[in-house]
Amino acid sequence: MTATGGAPTRTQVLVIGSGIAGLTAALRASRTADVLLVTKGALTDGATSCAQGGIAGAVGPGDSPDEHARDTLEAGAGLCEVEAVQVLCEEGPAAIRELLAHGVAFDRVRPAAGPGRSPYALGLEGAHGRARILHAGGDATGREIQRALVRAARRADRLVVREHTALVDLLVGSGRVVGAELLAADGRRTSVRAAATVLATGGAGQLFAHTTNPAVATGDGIAAAWRAGAVLADLEFYQFHPTALAGPESFLISEAVRGEGAVLRDEKGRRFLPAVDPRAELAPRDVVARAIADVMRTQAGRPVQLDATGIGRARLRERFPTIDAALRRHGIDWSRTSVPVTPAAHYWMGGILTDLDGGTSLPGLLAAGECARTGVHGANRLASNSLLEGAVFGTRAGQAAASLAARHADGSAATPHRHPIAAQPAGTAFSRAAVQQLMWSSAGLLRTGAALEEAARALADRHAPEPASIATIAALEDRNLLDLARLLVDRALARRDSVGAHHRLDTPHAPTQEDHAC
Ligand code: SIN
């Protein structure tokens, strides 16, 4: 049984999710509207806090938004939306200034830079033509951004925060999204009516057996938007970060480590990337991750080695204190020995289709951050563009939501909308671990039509309860993961060519007329 919580709460703007996109949207909207921000865990539980490398931005001398855009477009393998990329790169420096205004302490150059130099230490990461990554606390950039934004949110006058409360489904009435049905950690159900609802619920790394994402990354907003009938796009493009610590924990080892000079070796100690791409360890992420997967196939699945010994102990500790401490907890002294690494699911390029202001195909519904598909990432995201996307498009979505709220009252006569989903089969009950393993082996870095078809059949046979009857957040997440696994596999089957992060071993080339004919 599900407990219901009485009359709906009313607000002008409802924001769901509390990473950089959600907090930025909520802060911007609350300048002129009443905002309720709802988040599934504690305010700091999302993926933003885990971000290490940093936030990209054309802020250094000699850099320009055009150069940043060129790198973004090239990494995106020809599938980026050019206008969205221009917005990202042109508005990036202002978004970074806004973060500074909220008190984010980006690392500075020491001793202080002279005239004409950036006061901020700028790192280099894969596929960037120059060093343009701002970072904080060395490799604790996300934690610092989250700290500053949470503090700002706690101080904002018209912003109320509700933690430990998950999105069940969107409320749709008279053709608009008019709020959401929510489930609290204690099992109570409530509903919120709002003139504008902003989804900023992040990605779904928990679809895969190995991920750098936190436990809360179960794609709740994308699944609920789909059930409400919103258009989704690019779901076949899931980014696998090349270097997670091999083992059950999948701890992220930032790309910035390679930017500082670390190299990758096979188990015989040979570098393999120079033969794959002239940029070697700093090639785009999809190229590096795939090269690692290829080597791992030749060594019976055993991890490759990240060799950071050339960087030196003092620099490793100063620049990467979080990674250094985590490795020491695992008994690894990376100033002396290399680190066993493997790719892991990291970031979903696809999601809820949005325009440049976060607007979706459903009136009253906006989306920002990883759950949105703005088109800035194309088939492969450029390193450290995700925090930037959250800040730039979170601000835009917050502004647009506040404007909507000024024009529309909150919805009142709404009933939960159910997308016409095929009836659940009576087959095997959902097991999260089994689905994660299936997605890892069949819909991961290297895909084939046969494996995807087999996965589609296995997923079709699974069943999970309908959201309406679910009483725990974990069960709700399971349902969302099942919906999203089916959608991702379906889209990966439909795209028969290989591009960016979507790699089909059976059609590694660009599609031909004959491919399209059958
Ligand atoms: C990293 O530090 O390597 C991750 C940064 C990102 O995902 O862009």
- Over residues 249-287, the pLDDT tens digits come to 889 999 999 999 999 999 999 999 999 999 999 999 999
Q: Is the CB of 254 under 6 A from ligand 1?
A: yes
Q: In terms of domains, do 257 and 315 share one?
A: yes
What's the 384 CA to ligand 1 centre distance in angstroms?
5
CA–CA separation, 492 and 402 (whole Å): 36
Q: In terms of domains, do 186 and 40 share one?
A: yes
DSSP-derived pairing of the beta strands 165-173 and 176-184: antiparallel
Q: In terms of domains, do 401 and 440 share one?
A: no
Asked if omega into 111 is within 30° of 0 (cis), the reply is yes
Report if residue 436 sits inside a domain: yes
What's the 277 CA to ligand 1 centre distance in angstroms?
20
CA–CA separation, 357 and 374 (whole Å): 9
Report if residue 306 sits inside a domain: yes
* Residue 304 host element (H or E): strand 304-307
CA angle 464, 469, 472 (to 5 degrees): 80
The minimum-distance atom of ligand 1 relative to the CA of 386 is: 8
- Domain termination site, one of 322, 343, 364: 343
Q: Is the CB of 256 under 6 A from ligand 1?
A: yes
Report if residue 33 sits inside a domain: yes
- Work out how many domains the chain is built from and give that number: 3
Q: In terms of domains, do 185 and 40 share one?
A: yes
What's the 52 CA to ligand 1 centre distance in angstroms?
6
Q: In terms of domains, do 338 and 433 share one?
A: no
Which is nearest to 17 in space by CA: 328, 368, 345? Answer: 368
- Is 285 one of the annotated active-site residues of the chain? yes
Q: In terms of domains, do 130 and 35 share one?
A: yes
Report if residue 509 sits inside a domain: no
**Given ligand 1 and candidates 253, 254, 348, which is best to mutate, with the most ligand atoms within 8 Å of its CB?**
254
Contact 53, 384 (CB under 8 A): yes
Q: Is the CB of 213 under 6 A from ligand 1?
A: no
Q: In terms of domains, do 275 and 385 share one?
A: no
What's the 240 CA to ligand 1 centre distance in angstroms?
11
Report if residue 499 sits inside a domain: no
Q: Helical H runs in 380-471?
A: 386-407, 432-442, 449-461
CA dihedral sign, ordered 45, 46, 47, 51: negative
Q: Return phi, psi of residue 365, to 5°.
A: -115, 130
Q: In terms of domains, do 99 and 229 share one?
A: yes
Q: In terms of domains, do 317 and 409 share one?
A: no
Q: Can you tell me whether residue 328 is helix, strand or coil?
A: helix
* Residue 257 host element (H or E): helix 255-259
Q: Is the CB of 380 under 6 A from ligand 1?
A: no
The minimum-distance atom of ligand 1 relative to the CA of 383 is: 8
Q: In terms of domains, do 272 and 201 share one?
A: no
Report if residue 513 sits inside a domain: no
Which is nearest to 361 in space by CA: 177, 237, 234? Answer: 177
Report if residue 502 sits inside a domain: no
Cα 65 → chain centroid: 22
State pTM to two decimals: 0.94
pLDDT tens string 391-442: 999 999 999 999 999 998 765 555 555 555 555 666 788 899 999 999 999 9
Domain that holds residue 442: 418-494
Q: In terms of domains, do 332 and 225 share one?
A: no
- Domain termination site, one of 367, 400, 415: 415
What's the 234 CA to ligand 1 centre distance in angstroms?
20
Residue 207: CATH number of its domain = 3.50.50.60
Report if residue 1 sits inside a domain: no
- Domain termination site, one of 364, 384, 415: 415
Q: Can you tell me whether residue 348 is helix, strand or coil?
A: strand
Q: What is the largest CA-CA distance in the chain?
A: 70
Q: Would you write out the chain's pLDDT as a tens digit for each of its 518 residues? A: 344 566 789 999 999 999 999 999 999 999 999 999 999 999 999 899 999 999 999 999 999 999 999 999 999 999 999 999 999 999 999 999 999 999 999 999 987 777 778 899 999 999 999 999 999 999 999 999 999 999 999 999 999 999 999 999 999 998 999 999 999 999 999 999 999 999 999 999 999 999 999 999 999 999 999 999 999 999 999 999 999 999 888 899 999 999 999 999 999 999 999 999 999 999 999 999 999 999 999 999 999 999 999 999 999 999 999 999 999 999 999 999 999 999 999 999 999 999 999 999 999 999 999 999 999 999 999 999 999 999 999 999 999 999 999 998 765 555 555 555 555 666 788 899 999 999 999 999 999 999 999 999 999 988 887 777 889 999 999 999 999 999 999 999 999 999 999 999 998 765 444 443 33
Contact 216, 38 (CB under 8 A): no
**Given ligand 1 and candidates 252, 264, 285, which is best to mutate, with the most ligand atoms within 8 Å of its CB?**
252
The minimum-distance atom of ligand 1 relative to the CA of 125 is: 3
Q: In terms of domains, do 380 and 232 share one?
A: yes
| The one catalytic residue among 285, 290, 447, 495 | 285
